[in-house]
């Protein structure tokens, strides 16, 4: 379905929801939706990126099939959301390819990068531990561009998104409101605080919320671990390998555990959920992203546990291949939703602030 058709269908369903207002307190989508009577294309894109696809509104709705209105708002917004990421992404071709062939792209990327790193290993290292296999200079030369290039791509996408939704000048209060919701995953509590119906229409659960939090905090701890190691290496001339009680390990090991558990949990929840209430075209890409991120965490833990064995060089190549694939594919995978949803929450905070000023 073309972009215009996706937006038109989402606009039709949003108009019916706006008249009904039964789901007014469910999440951030509905207060934003009920703030106006007509929806521009940018408004629909904003609503789509506010949506967490918890499905609570679908299971509470009296206008779903077989009713003639045939509402499926979670799926309609999921399709617009995925299409918006593809439209804003740079370059666009990679985004569309991952969402439709995510499993194959992720697998080929990990194995391909692992083989390249294994080949570079043949040049020899110049240090202790992992650096005896792959030098620190080689790692920096590989991973600095792998971090910077996706950052530029994400920045371009967010700039396009901000223009599309009519974003204004950002204040500190907007950031605090938005990130407060993001950190607590407030919208996955579905307003009433009982959780959502993502994996089971008859039961409210916080499972998806907790899995999201495990992934988020696990990733942040792993990132903090890498940052701490970088600061110790360049700022204090303390070089790896580091002991267990060092800051990189104290941050990285719990981070890897949380990341692995969270991704495994999320994969199980996705298998239990109904694909028809999301974007069916992106289902494979979403699962591939979860498995890729989970494998990066798991391979890191295995590398730490087996780092003194003959398996270390192969595990290092696989782990670094997974991390490299994750970073390079970030702008084109479900990982992008963290950036776009944060931007959507900031824009929604601006809407609330404007309404409060008028009142």
How many helices, marked H, and strands, marked E, lie in the chain? 14, 0
Total domains present in the chain: 1
5 lies in some domain: no
17 lies in some domain: no
80 lies in some domain: no
Per-residue confidence (pLDDT) for residue 139, from 0 to 100: 82
6 lies in some domain: no
26 lies in some domain: no
Per-residue confidence (pLDDT) for residue 169, from 0 to 100: 92
Token reading at 137: 């200079």
63 lies in some domain: no
Per-residue confidence (pLDDT) for residue 192, from 0 to 100: 60
Per-residue confidence (pLDDT) for residue 190, from 0 to 100: 61
- Containing structural domain, residue 130: 89-358
pTM: 0.89
Eight-state DSSP code of residue 205: B
C-alpha to C-alpha distance for 322 and 122, rounded to whole angstroms: 20
DSSP sequence for 213-236: HHHHHHHHHHHHHHHHHHHHHHHS
pLDDT in tens, the chain (359 residues): 667 799 999 999 999 999 998 988 788 899 999 888 889 999 999 999 999 888 888 988 999 999 999 999 999 999 999 999 989 988 877 666 776 677 777 888 888 888 888 887 665 556 566 777 777 778 888 888 988 999 999 999 999 999 999 999 999 999 999 998 888 887 776 656 677 878 777 678 888 889 999 999 999 999 999 999 989 988 988 887 888 899 999 999 999 999 999 999 999 999 888 999 999 888 888 888 899 999 999 999 999 888 888 888 888 889 999 999 999 888 888 888 889 999 999 999 999 998 888 76
CA 307 to chain centre: 29
C-alpha to C-alpha distance for 5 and 225, rounded to whole angstroms: 45
Token reading at 23: 């789901």
- Which has the closest alpha carbon to 87: 13, 175, 161, 19? 161
12 lies in some domain: no
317 lies in some domain: yes
């Amino acid at each position: 379905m073309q972009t215009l058709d996706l937006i038109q269908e989402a606009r039709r369903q949003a108009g019916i929801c706006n008249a009904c207002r039964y789901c007014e307190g469910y999440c951030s989508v509905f207060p934003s939706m009920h703030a106006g009577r007509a929806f521009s294309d940018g408004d629909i894109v904003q609503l789509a990126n506010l949506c967490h696809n918890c499905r609570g509104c679908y299971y509470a709705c009296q206008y779903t099939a077989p009713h003639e209105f045939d509402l499926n708002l979670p799926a309609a917004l999921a399709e617009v959301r995925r299409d918006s990421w593809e439209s804003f992404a740079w370059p666009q071709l990679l985004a569309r390819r991952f969402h439709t062939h995510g499993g194959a792209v992720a697998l080929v990327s990990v194995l391909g990068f692992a083989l390249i790193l294994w080949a570079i290993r043949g040049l020899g290292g110049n240090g202790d531990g992992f650096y005896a296999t792959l030098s620190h200079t080689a790692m920096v030369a590989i991973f600095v561009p792998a971090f910077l290039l996706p950052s530029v791509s994400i920045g371009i996408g967010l700039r396009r998104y901000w223009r599309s939704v009519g974003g204004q000048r950002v204040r500190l209060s907007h950031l605090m409101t938005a990130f407060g919701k993001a950190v607590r995953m407030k919208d996955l509590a579905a307003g009433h605080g009982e959780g959502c119906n993502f994996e089971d229409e008859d039961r409210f659960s916080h499972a998806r919320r907790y899995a999201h939090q495990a992934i988020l905090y696990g990733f942040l701890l792993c990132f903090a671990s890498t940052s701490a190691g970088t600061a110790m290496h360049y700022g204090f001339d303390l070089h790896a390998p580091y002991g267990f009680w060092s800051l990189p390990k104290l941050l990285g090991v719990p981070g890897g555990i949380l990341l692995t558990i969270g991704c495994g949990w999320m994969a199980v929840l996705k298998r239990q959920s109904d694909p028809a209430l999301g974007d069916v075209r992106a289902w494979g890409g979403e699962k591939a992203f979860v498995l890729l991120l989970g494998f990066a965490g798991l391979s890191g833990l295995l590398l730490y546990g087996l780092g003194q064995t003959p398996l270390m060089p192969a595990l290092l190549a696989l782990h670094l291949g997974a991390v490299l694939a994750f970073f390079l594919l970030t702008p084109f995978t479900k990982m992008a939703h963290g950036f776009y949803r944060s931007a959507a929450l900031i824009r929604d905070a601006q809407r609330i602030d404007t309404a409060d000023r008028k009142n």
